[in-house]
Chain A
Amino acid sequence: MLEIKNLHVRVGDKDILKGLNLTVGAGQVHAIMGPNGSGKSTLSYVLAGRAGYDVTDGAILYNGENLVGMPPEERAAKGVFLAMQYPVEIPGVTTMMFLKSALNALARARGQSEMDAIAVLKAVRKKAATLNVSEEMLKRALNVGFSGGEKKRLEILQMALFEPKLAILDETDSGLDIDALKLVAEGVNSLRSPERAMLVITHYQRLLDYIVPDRVHVLSNGRIIKEGGKELALELEAKGYEQIVKDAA
């Protein structure tokens, strides 16, 4: 489903990804771990098509199609979703309003019919309840004054609503309390399906107890330096990155 080949990415005048290779099959969940600044978020932005992240070499094949150069909204329409490490605030736009606009924009792009306000409300409420997103939050401006954990839950709510094919979760677990972590993990697990792939970026082995990955990749200095099964996460936890990086060298 996703095949990243020899990806080189430059931000400003700095090379950040330096020949990254990664393949995720349909129905799989892969975890990416790696030290701060190793390029995890950069990878997620590049997959989503953020301006300013220049691909200088390599390819990102998504269902066989190269995403490089495709505008972010087209990627979204094709099913790419990024739960961001730092969700953005949009003052004056209620969360509900935002969800409605996004849902209908996606529907239009996907050739489906748009939903009216009542249908949107129903759909949102159903998913919101399972993620403990309150009615009051939906009325507030998008992410404005939300706690860290509330922002992350809202990201997962959106993922559940938009039904992506490729979901990238960038540190969705950081800032979540234990109960919220379980809720989010349940949310993610319920979306696991044979036609959906997920890339879960995390610093904590604990998340992977709940969302059990098919593969774990270690990203360091812009490259995948090691990969393995879910036990790799435990090894990382025991040894720390420094040792793993040394071993890989």
Chain B
Amino acid sequence: MSSAAAETKSQVAAIGEKYKYGFVTDIEMERAPKGLSADTVRYVSAKKNEPEWMLEWRLGAFKRWGEMKEPSWARVHYPKIDYQAAYYYAAPKNTPLKQSLDEVDPKLLETYKKLGIPLSEQMALAGVAVDAVFDSVSVATTFKDKLNEAGVIFCPISEAIRDYPEMVKQYLGTVVPVTDNFFATLNAAVFSDGTFVYVPKGVRCPMELSTYFRINASETGQFERTLIIADEGSYVSYLEGCTAPKRDENQLHAAVVELIALEGAEIKYSTVQNWYPGDENGLGGIFNFVTKRGDCRGARSKISWTQVETGSAITWKYPSCILRGDGSVGEFYSIAIANHYQQADTGTKMIHIGKNTRSRIISKGISAGKAHNTYRGLVSVLGKAENARNFTQCDSLLIGKECGAHTVPYIESRNPSARIEHEATTSKIAEDQLFYCLQRGLGQEEAVALIVNGFCKEVLQQLPMEFAVEAQKLVGISLEGSVG
């Protein structure tokens, strides 16, 4: 076994404490002045050395945002967010883009190590490239060379704006329009950084692409912007892992992810979201308001979302697929776990526009403690979508008596040839299952983790191998203290 793999393994094995990622790295930060104004937008844009057109785009978004209202339809409750009380830009001081890992602040590397990310050259062996976003600036990008050879562009979006402006202009905001929703518009105005991926025609990306996000500075919102374009006949698998340190105050995270699959292309996007969920009493935790959407723009293209959502105090997230190309396929595999006072309102939208489009939704919601977990989904078949097919399965598992599970499926069909199937179940961990496990020597928490992992199996199977292991552990950890 390579040392990187061994390292990862031992770090994963070490995940055992309540919230392993609750540490803060002491690095000097450079921040924008507190609050949000056109000047904040200009500050962020200037920090990124952005061209004029980008600043205009941001300012346009900011103007629209001022006219918008925060949505209130989701089944989540939280105190009013004071958008003027946060910082919108924070970056480690003195960190221009590094060419090699040796140049990176060892403290940062230490952070990654604690996160269990072996950000070392050996990762090539594991076939993963990491574009690590530390708060707002991408500090280290690896494996550029190997990707360059294949013609794959994988870089911070700030860099793409400077180096590939035509491509960015062509695609940015075409899947999630600037004015899509309150949080997406806010993101458009102040996004700090994020990832850009372009896979050329016919290229199968030679490795899994992986980005770890981490919110470090206090009181900063994290506004990622990701744009992935898979050109005709190409394939890419992208992994996103997120963690944030423990803090008493709530932090806002409003990311936007846009995926574009052209003819015959396939994008697989996997997320393991483990932002700080708050403590047992509901203090602190990330507010996670995210807009993720994929556009199957070409015929026979495919976009597959897989998410394991165990963190955040509030999750508001609906990774969706616009099935525009004929014969295109959209998939959504989700595990959402809410424990203690966490609130999750998540699901997907499958918009069938092209003929013979297919979508598949498998959602596993687990609620424990006093948490509330809502699946909210839309399957929409437009008039020209002949022979559209959807299969939806929503399973909810309740642990304890004080939590709640809610399923809100919306179905609209304007084409009589559509076939839409929806199955939903709600169950509890049966006492006899628990007893059976205990009788065989498993502890309470281990038994619950095992049973819940079994419940989630169909979704866990969708994750790339290394992440599946991590996700399984997370399932167990996030349910600690939920029984007994």
Residues of A within 8 A of B (CB): 48-52, 71-73, 76-77, 81-82, 84, 87-93, 97-98, 101-102, 105-106, 109, 141, 158, 162
Contact = CB atoms under 8 A, between A and B. Distances in A.
Given A101-B450, A105-B443, A71 B438 contact: yes
A99 to B, nearest CB: 9
Nearest to B438: A72
A102 B442 contact: yes
Nearest to B436: A88
Contact of A98 (B430, B450, B458): B450
Contact of A105 (B436, B442, B455): B442
A73 B442 contact: yes
B248 to A, nearest CB: 35
Contact of B455 (A89, A91, A98): A91
B453 interface: yes
A73 B442 CA distance: 6
Contacts of B453: 92-93
Contacts, number: 77
A102 B454 contact: no
18 contacts: A50-B439, A51-B431, A51-B435, A72-B439, A76-B438, A81-B439, A84-B439, A88-B432, A88-B436, A90-B450, A92-B454, A92-B455, A93-B453, A98-B440, A102-B440, A105-B440, A106-B440, A106-B441
Given A92-B455, A93-B454, A101-B446, A84 B441 contact: no
A162 B440 contact: yes
Contacts of A102: 437, 440-442
A90 B441 contact: no
A76 B446 CA distance: 15
Given A52-B431, A92-B455, A76 B450 contact: no
Contacts of A109: 441
B430 to A, nearest CB: 8
B438 A73 contact: yes
A97 B436 CA distance: 15
Contacts of A81: 439
A107 B431 CA distance: 24
B395 to A, nearest CB: 10
Q: Interface extent on B, as a size class?
A: 20 to 34
Contacts of A97: 450
B280 to A, nearest CB: 22
A88 B451 CA distance: 12
Contacts of A98: 440, 450
B99 interface: no
What are the 8 tightest A-B residue pairs by CB atom distance, in nearest-first order? Answer: A92-B454, A92-B457, A93-B454, A106-B441, A102-B440, A72-B438, A76-B441, A88-B436
Interface in B409-441: 430-433, 435-441
Contacts of A105: 440-443, 446
A89 B457 CA distance: 15
A199 B149 CA distance: 69
A84 B78 CA distance: 47
A101 B442 contact: yes
A72 B456 CA distance: 26
A90 B432 CA distance: 10
Contact of A76 (B431, B432, B439, B454): B439
B433 A162 contact: no
A162 B454 contact: no
A10 to B, nearest CB: 17
A90 B436 CA distance: 9
A72 B484 CA distance: 13
B451 A93 contact: yes
A51 B437 CA distance: 13
Given A72-B438, A105-B446, A91 B454 contact: yes
Given A91-B454, A92-B454, A76 B440 contact: yes
Contact of B441 (A51, A88, A162): A162
Contacts of A162: 440-441
A220 B444 CA distance: 34
B440 A158 contact: yes
B446 A87 contact: no
Given A92-B454, A93-B450, A105-B446, A48 B441 contact: no
A90 B439 CA distance: 14
B2 to A, nearest CB: 18
B308 to A, nearest CB: 15
B362 to A, nearest CB: 12
A90 B435 contact: no
A101 B454 CA distance: 13
A161 B290 CA distance: 48
B64 to A, nearest CB: 45
Interface in B439-481: 439-444, 446, 450-451, 453-458
